[in-house]
Homo-oligomer: A and B are copies of this chain.
Amino acid sequence: MPERAPLRMLFGRDAWERVRGRIQEAGLAVQPLLLEPDGSLADGDFQAAWFSPELFALKQDEAFLAAVLGCPTVRWMQSGRSGFDHPAFAQLARRGVRLSRSTAPAPAIAEYVIASVFDRFQRGPERRLAQQAQEWRPLPFKEIAGSRWLCVGFGEIGREVGRRARALGAHVTGVRRSGGDSDCADLVVTPDRMGDALAAADVVVLSVPLTPDNDGSYGRDFFAGFRAGALFVNVGRGQLLDEPALRAALDSGRVGHCVLDVTRVEPLPRGEWQWTHPQVTLTAHTSGIGSGLIGRTDALLIENLGRYLSGGPLLHELNPENFA
């Protein structure tokens, strides 16, 4: 049998240095092409690319995607992200490039969500003020046990949130188009049936993927269905929201508080209302960057590399119809 030529694959330098040992141990025939920290890139075509998470920290994500788009021979890109709304994904998909996304951020995002809800339920801001003022003030708090959660979007992120909330004794309803059952929820409903659960929810978590169809679609009607004073957490995308409608819902008390890890424009410019609204907790697209992210990301890359090289089905491959 003739030896196959190794797979020529584009990596960021740091990501390659981290995984090269594991790729060699696994006997995977890969020839790397590297995007260097200074932005330089060796000449040559490649067939695959690993869009790894640290490209964002290095601000090389756009350069990396430009290199992939500029390469006519690329057949597959493994992403380190959950979302697939960057326009490059659609362009690649239309050219027939296979795309697989990552489930590695989901456990971190779920911890972020649970932690954020705890801080509100436990009255964190009041506790901190009491300590600052040196006032011994026992503040009764709301338990997660017995609270009702609605996870709008019940992919990996929603399910990881639901699993943890249930383990803490919450009642969880998941919302997804396919309906069905799940160990991570007490009940799963389709979007057209979520009204009752929304009206009963203490916590509403949004984690649907952004698509061309749902830009701005969580607005006045959505918030009008909330139980007054409920807590809203957005770990999907800022573009999902009608942000002025959210602001109005916060001002009216319909939404009691919101936790936003994403905004329509990122980084959010100084002076935007979300920075200073008393009922907004804002973080900088941080929820996925937990300490376990890289380990999970690398493990998925190795797994999918083996599958790709052996012609097997990829884990978490995106359906081209997502981009039709």
Q: Which residues of A contact B (CB under 8 A)?
A: 57, 107-108, 111-112, 114-115, 118-119, 121-122, 124, 127, 130-131, 134-146, 164, 167-169, 266-268, 270-271, 275-276, 281-286, 289-292
Contacts and interface: CB of A to CB of B under 8 A. Distances in A.
- With most chain B CB atoms within 10 A of its CB, the pick from A112, A118, A135 is A118
Contact of A137 (B137, B164, B284, B291): B284
Given A127-B286, A131-B281, A143 B111 contact: yes
B111 A115 contact: no
Contacts of A139: 283-284, 286, 289
A111 B145 contact: yes
Contacts of A138: 57, 283-286, 289
- With most chain B CB atoms within 10 A of its CB, the pick from A57, A114, A286 is A286
A144 B118 CA distance: 14
14 contacts: A57-B138, A107-B143, A111-B122, A111-B145, A112-B141, A130-B283, A134-B270, A134-B275, A137-B284, A138-B285, A140-B286, A140-B289, A142-B291, A164-B167
Contacts of A111: 118, 121-122, 141, 143-145, 168
A162 to B, nearest CB: 12
Contacts of A268: 136
A286 to B, nearest CB: 5
Given A135-B284, A136-B267, 20 more contacts: A108-B141, A111-B118, A111-B144, A112-B122, A114-B118, A119-B119, A127-B286, A130-B284, A134-B271, A136-B284, A138-B283, A138-B284, A138-B286, A139-B284, A140-B291, A141-B289, A141-B291, A142-B291, A145-B290, A164-B168
A203 to B, nearest CB: 14
A127 B270 CA distance: 16
